[in-house]
Amino acid sequence: MRSAFQRDRDRIIHSAAFRRLKYKTQVFVYHEGDYYRTRLTHSLEVAQIARTVSRTLGLDEDLAEALALAHDLGHTPFGHSGEDALDAAMQGFGGFDHNEQTLRILTHLEQRYAEFDGLNLTWETLEGVVKHNGPLADPPPWIREYNARHDLELRTFAGPEAQVAALADDIAYNNHDIDDGLRAGLFGIDDLKPLPLVGPVIEDLLRRYPGLERGRLVHETIRALIGAMVEDLLAETGRRLAQAEPGSADEIRRLGRPLVAFSEAMRANDRALKKFLFDRMYRHERVNRMTAQARRVVRDLFGLFLNDPGRMPEEWRALAKGAGDPVTARVAADYVAGMTDRFALDEHKRLGLSGSANQ
């Protein structure tokens, strides 16, 4: 009744890790407001864009959707600040990488089925998750270990659906951060007008709809930006397809460069937008205060569990060894990384660590 890729998608949706994305945030901590994007809403937006692009290009929509839905499963609570804190704490134990953690979840940590650990996904889905950002010349330890058992051809590019999912991620991420940043008051519409692509879109909308109410203007701007980026992606990818004439997905993997791409002009627009968001949103004083607290929460929780593994729940405690042991460090990292924002804050308080988070 289902193709292999439909089964992959369904297993991802029914996983515990996917449900936890509801309370894992990217920029704003969950209690800042219900409207801001979470990892779950972001993944759904990426999947919608990836399906649209894949359908137009004649690719496998179900594979693209599975990759889009899985790509953020390995993220810690509190977005990139949580990952940075856990990576710093794991130095000396192999570090922490969310892409590596996604593979751990999909192949090991999800323990739902009688016959195997993980979700038993197809090679194409696992390969696409690991390599969606390009070949891996120096993979993290778990990816390297898994690859020794099941070769994911780490030195080639990913298949076309994974390349689509990666750029759908960029499109969704940039545009929903504009939306969230405007709603949070971190910057205004006038601040966006000097930006290439964004400014002309806003000016065009104001000419066409004089006096347009602000909420509608923001929505129409995001809508137009997503449309422009998708159209550029389709045009540039079509040009590269005509030039390369690949006969199979394997040929696409071995082209030596991405097949799915923005034009050079759109890449420049994308860089300008990312720089604006970095300066005006990710490094905003209000966001910095949140991320500083988030880093302390993650650091405190990991440190406690590493040095006193008995403070973890029984099922995690059973996997650990002694205090400070590398096995215990990986178990503690898996446990902390799987927490939602809300659960991490509650555990931090329950375990008597809240005083250190306010220092």
Q: Which contacts qualify for 14-17: CB closer than 8 Å, 24 or more apart?
A: 15/73, 15/105, 15/110, 15/112, 15/119, 16/110, 16/112, 17/73, 17/105, 17/109, 17/110, 17/338
The answer to the question of residue 250 being in a domain is yes
Work out the pLDDT band at 42, boundaries 50, 70, 90: very high
Work out the pLDDT band at 359, boundaries 50, 70, 90: very low
Check pLDDT > 50 for residue 358. Answer: no
CA distances to 69, 189, 208, 307, 334 from 42, in Å: 9, 22, 30, 35, 22
CATH of the domain at 233: 1.10.3210.10
Last residue of a domain, one of 263, 286, 309: 286
List the Cα angle 294/336/300 in 5-degree steps.
50
Which residue in this structure is represented by tokens 């790509």?
A: 71
CA distance 141 to 155: 15
Residue 121 · residue 106 · CB < 8 Å: yes
Co-location of 303 and 329 in the same domain? yes
Say how many C-beta atoms besides its own lie within 10 A of residue 314's C-beta: 7
Number of domains, the chain: 3
The answer to the question of residue 75 being in a domain is yes
Co-location of 108 and 193 in the same domain? no
CA 325 to chain centre: 29
What is the pLDDT averaged over residues 348-355?
89
* Nearest Cα to Cα of residue 103 among 137, 62, 144: 144
Check pLDDT > 70 for residue 31. Answer: no
Look up residue 39 and give its two tokens: 């990892």
Which residue range(s) make up the domain with 119?
4-79+97-149
Co-location of 277 and 325 in the same domain? no
- pTM (two decimals): 0.93
At 147-194, the pLDDT tens digits run 999 999 999 999 999 999 999 999 999 999 999 899 888 999 999 999
Q: Where are the beta strands (DSSP E) in 118-196?
A: none
Co-location of 138 and 8 in the same domain? yes
The answer to the question of residue 110 being in a domain is yes
Which residue in this structure is represented by tokens 């051809």?
A: 153
In three-state secondary structure terms, 25 is strand
Work out the pLDDT band at 253, boundaries 50, 70, 90: very high
CA distance 357 to 351: 12
* Residue 22 per-residue DSSP state: G
Co-location of 273 and 187 in the same domain? yes
Residue 170 · residue 273 · CB < 8 Å: no
Check pLDDT > 80 for residue 28. Answer: no
Last residue of a domain, one of 286, 316, 345: 286
Percent of the chain with pLDDT over 70: 96
Co-location of 57 and 16 in the same domain? yes
Co-location of 51 and 133 in the same domain? yes
Q: Look over the chain and give the mean of its residue pLDDT values, rounded to a whole number.
A: 93
CA distance 112 to 110: 6
Q: Where are the beta strands (DSSP E) in 125-235?
A: none
The answer to the question of residue 90 being in a domain is no
What is the pLDDT averaged over residues 306-335?
97
Q: What is the enclosing helix (H) or strand (E) of 201?
A: helix 198-208
Greatest Cα-to-Cα distance within the chain, rounded to the nearest angstrom: 67
Co-location of 13 and 60 in the same domain? yes
Look up residue 173 and give its two tokens: 């991420």
CA distance 94 to 92: 6
Look up residue 90 and give its two tokens: 């794991």
- What local confidence, expressed as pLDDT, does residue 32 receive? 52
Co-location of 67 and 169 in the same domain? no
The answer to the question of residue 155 being in a domain is no
Co-location of 169 and 124 in the same domain? no
CA distance 359 to 356: 5
Last residue of a domain, one of 230, 265, 286: 286
The answer to the question of residue 212 being in a domain is yes
Least confident among 56-60, 123-127, 176-180: 176-180
Check pLDDT > 90 for residue 47. Answer: yes
Look up residue 162 and give its two tokens: 């994974």
The answer to the question of residue 263 being in a domain is yes
CA distance 27 to 194: 24
Work out the pLDDT band at 255, boundaries 50, 70, 90: very high
- What local confidence, expressed as pLDDT, does residue 80 receive? 85
The answer to the question of residue 304 being in a domain is yes
CA distance 24 to 30: 7
CA distance 110 to 273: 36
Co-location of 8 and 135 in the same domain? yes
Co-location of 277 and 237 in the same domain? yes
CA distance 68 to 295: 27
